[in-house]
Amino acid sequence: MTALSRRNFVKGAACAVAAVAGASLGFRSGGIDFYYPQEAFADENSPIERRYSYCDMCNHVPKCGIVASVREDKVIRVESRDKYPSTPLCAKGIASLQELYDPHRLLTPKIRTNAKGGPAEWKDITWDEAYSILAERLNRVKAQHGADSVLFFCGDPKEPRGAMQRLATLFGSSSYGTESSVCAAASWMCAQLVFGQNSMGENPSDASASCLIWSLNPAWSQPNRYGVLMKQKERGCKFVVVDPRVTPTVTGMADIHLQLRPGSDGALAAGFINQLIEQDLIDHNFVDNWTHGFEELKAYVAAYTPQKVEEITWVPADRLIAAAKLIGENKPGTLITSSKGGCHTTNVGHFQRAVFMIPALLGNLDVTGGLPLGPGLPFDYAASTKGFQLEDVYEAEGFQQRRYDREDFPVWARYYKMMQTVKLPEYVDEGKIRAGVLLGVNSMMWPNTPLYQKAIADLEFSVAIDYYLRPVTHDLVDMVLPAAMCYERSAALAIFGRKIFLREPVVTPRGEAREDWRIILEIGCALGYAEQCFNGDVDAALEELLRTTNLGITLADLRANPQGYDVPGPAAAQRKYETGGLRNDKQPGFNTPSGKVELVSTVLEDMNFVGLPVYEEPLHSPFTADAKDYPLVLNTGSRVPYYTHSKLRDLPWLNQFMPNPVVRISSKDASERGLVEGELARVYNAQGEVEMQVEITNMVLPGVVDIFHGWERADINLLTTRDFDPISGFPPFSNGLCQVASLQAR
């Protein structure tokens, strides 16, 4: 796709859209005004209605609230929504309007007419034809090879996951997977292992004296959250930020910045704990009564003195000492971890546990102003329920025992009823997976992209569901189905604490596009599960989802409360581990096998892993032999404010900010290589090579380069390696090795 000129944009869109520049563009109460030219409307006096929606451009949950101004079934303006828990809209949210009316959107079901191997040629088909072909093909694969050989997959989109998992289970397939097998879930799992429930940490509240941010850059990745944190900073909450880069979050918020070498988190976390113990900052009462393995942990971290940690992590010893003191002396304090930053390393299954041990050792768990625990509403993070996902069927019918990923990643399989997808190439090669229903799939999301492209291409049959035709992945599938975008669809729910919002469509889908939920339910009907798929009726499915919460809520309740439905319930109590409020069996303690916070994991030990949170050096690092040829640490995927993963590159309002892929490099490394700002350079290692524009910056440490992922023309996952953390299965996107050289030097 080429960048759109305004003229093409206006001509190609079903209706015309506003100009970017000029008088029609201006900030207004947190939003931006966009007006269609008058000639776009049949009636020049047609009314404008304001309707509630929410944005899903970054697929975060929950999302930012939007008020859409709608005229003649067209969204003409988007603004931040007042009195909504998540605001304001970021640049991507505002540009959602441009994506909605992008003339390149996929608007009809298509089937491939040529053999795989080159660019796909497509023929438009009707929805009925599409369903009939895919049902026949999927049922054939099932009859020949069993239901598990069909993969049901959701990429970054979160909203359709409950429906997709239900469909997989109805079909009888244990092969349900999502992008979460390289995002966030490693962190949740570590929290499970330590204190028995998912967590990514929590924002500080007015009662918090400190906050340890272990690698998150919400200034760019969650702008709505950044403002919330800044308010706490202004109130006086102290912040320590652990991040290899000098981000706006660091400059805006950090009292102390621990700028570590990417991938060395495990050593830094051990050193942090060492200092909490050395400086006698731990909560002895909590540690004595509620933790398991303290003496072993203490003995292990004793070796991680600030001086040794400095050698490993490059963090100055005095800074580590000061950071532990700041967090340890300012209680209660909370912790925020990242779904990405530190997760993408082969040591994550150990180091993230060490990070979650910090609030435990300080007695900051489940206290006001600390890290709250305890059962929330019975939804998962994608706003679905166990009942709707048919988890009872999954368990009763032995899906778990049949899973292909169980041997590769037993700890992962224990915690998640979704496949760890990183071994997809192997499962396809071995004939285990032979077909796929792939919603929002992007082959560039995994390390060493070509192997995943081959895996997708080798499927006997695959159907992708997407907003766009993206050749890097869709050239490899047999059929594509057009998905409706957020303004065009209802969805699962947005849930904030005990407040639930329903989103309904504000305009009719363009072309033939249909809602993801509807498509999944209709595929289910075509496959023979019409009754369990509510004959394709999305409202009926959402009603069932609400019924399975046992909260007594109906769709009518949600519709009657457009400003959010408050689920009645008790105020959250503190220290529920003392009263039995955290465990399924209602006994005091934590939801772990020992009932304690596990500083040495009994679960891991039972599965023949080391129970202590041990530090292991990345397999490719400045301390390994290949650093001779590839001396720079390759840190990939740190979020930029304008793009989400592989998306949005073609929206002019966003593309203007970052038209080309860039490699961020320190001035020291650039001058050593004779690189000048803006030139095109080679970034390469033993596995692959890409070309990118040089950006010389103090943001990164000497010895490290920083590169965003998802560029089709410079896919950094050609260089990332398939060394998977044995506990979580996560790949080392954050810490490979590479070299950068001027193209002139070839």
Ligand X SMILES: Nc1nc2c(c(=O)[nH]1)N[C@H]1C(S)=C(S)[C@@H](COP(=O)(O)OP(=O)(O)OC[C@H]3O[C@@H](n4cnc5c(=O)[nH]c(N)nc54)[C@H](O)[C@@H]3O)O[C@H]1N2
720: contact with ligand X by CB under 6 A: yes
Choose, by CB under 5 A, the member of 183, 270, 301, 428 that binds Mo ion.
183
β-pairing, 435-439 vs 461-466, is parallel
Residue 439 interacts with which of ligand SF4, Mo ion, ligand X, none, CB < 5 to 8 Å by class: ligand X
Q: How far is CA 639 from CA 346, 646, 655, in A?
A: 20, 11, 15
Helix (H) or strand (E) holding 48: strand 48-54
Residue 57 interacts with which of Mo ion, ligand SF4, ligand X, none, CB < 5 to 8 Å by class: ligand SF4
Stretch that binds Mo ion, among 180-188, 528-536, 631-639, 670-678 (CB under 5 A): 180-188
Give 493's strand partners: 502
Residue 487: CB minimum distance to ligand SF4, A:
12
Residue 659 structure tokens? 């038209």
Residue 636 interacts with which of ligand SF4, Mo ion, ligand X, none, CB < 5 to 8 Å by class: ligand X
Residues 402/148, Cβ–Cβ less than 8 Å: yes
Residues 395/417, Cβ–Cβ less than 8 Å: no
509: contact with ligand X by CB under 6 A: no
Stretch that binds Mo ion, among 97-105, 181-189, 294-302, 374-382 (CB under 5 A): 181-189
d(CA 671, CA 667) in angstroms, rounded, equals 6
Q: What letter represents residue 593's amino acid? A: P
- Please give the residues from 154 up to 183 whose contact with ligand X meets the rule CB under 6 A: 155-157, 179, 182-183
Question: What residues contact residue 602 under an 8 Å CB cut-off, 6+ apart?
Answer: 292, 592, 593, 594, 611
Write each residue from 621 to 660 as x if it is in contact with ligand X (CB under 6 A), else as -, in one continuous string: --------------xxxxx-x-xxxxx-------------
Residue 33 structure tokens? 């005004």
Contacting residues toward ligand SF4, per CB under 6 A: 55, 57-58, 60, 63-64, 89-90, 92-93, 223-224
Question: What residues contact residue 731 under an 8 Å CB cut-off, 6+ apart?
Answer: 182, 344, 422, 446, 447, 720, 721, 722, 723, 724, 725
Residues 600/296, Cβ–Cβ less than 8 Å: yes
Residues 341/637, Cβ–Cβ less than 8 Å: no
Residue 466: CB minimum distance to ligand SF4, A:
18
Write each residue from 461 to 480 as x if it is in contact with ligand X (CB under 6 A), else as -, in one continuous string: ----xxxx-x----------
Residue 253's Cβ-side half-sphere holds a number of Cα atoms within 13 Å equal to: 31
Backbone angles phi, psi at 476, to 5 degrees: -105, 0
- Please give the residues from 701 up to 740 whose contact with Mo ion meets the rule CB under 5 A: none
- Please give the residues from 662 up to 701 whose contact with ligand X meets the rule CB under 6 A: none
Residue 55 interacts with which of ligand X, ligand SF4, Mo ion, none, CB < 5 to 8 Å by class: ligand SF4
Choose, by CB under 6 A, the member of 710, 724, 738, 739 that binds ligand X.
710
Stretch that binds Mo ion, among 178-186, 201-209, 450-458, 708-716 (CB under 5 A): 178-186
Q: Which residue's Cβ lies closest to ligand X?
A: 637
Residue 150 interacts with which of ligand SF4, ligand X, Mo ion, none, CB < 5 to 8 Å by class: none
Judging by beta carbons within 10 Å of its beta carbon (0-12, 13-18, 19+), is residue 155 exposed, middle or buried?
buried
- For ligand SF4, give the closer residue by CB, 94 or 690: 94
Give 370's strand partners: none
Q: How far is CA 491 from CA 158, 486, 501, 539, in A?
A: 10, 8, 10, 9
Choose, by CB under 6 A, the member of 149, 274, 338, 364 that binds ligand X.
338
Stretch that binds ligand X, among 67-75, 258-266, 609-617, 656-664 (CB under 6 A): 258-266
- For Mo ion, give the closer residue by CB, 183 or 277: 183
d(CA 307, CA 428) in angstroms, rounded, equals 47
Residue 127 interacts with which of ligand X, ligand SF4, Mo ion, none, CB < 5 to 8 Å by class: none
Q: Give the binding site for ligand X (CB under 6 A).
A: 56, 58-60, 155-157, 179, 182-184, 214-218, 220-222, 242-245, 247, 262-263, 265, 338-342, 344-345, 439-440, 442, 445, 465-468, 470, 483, 516, 635-639, 641, 643-647, 709-710, 716-717, 720, 733-735
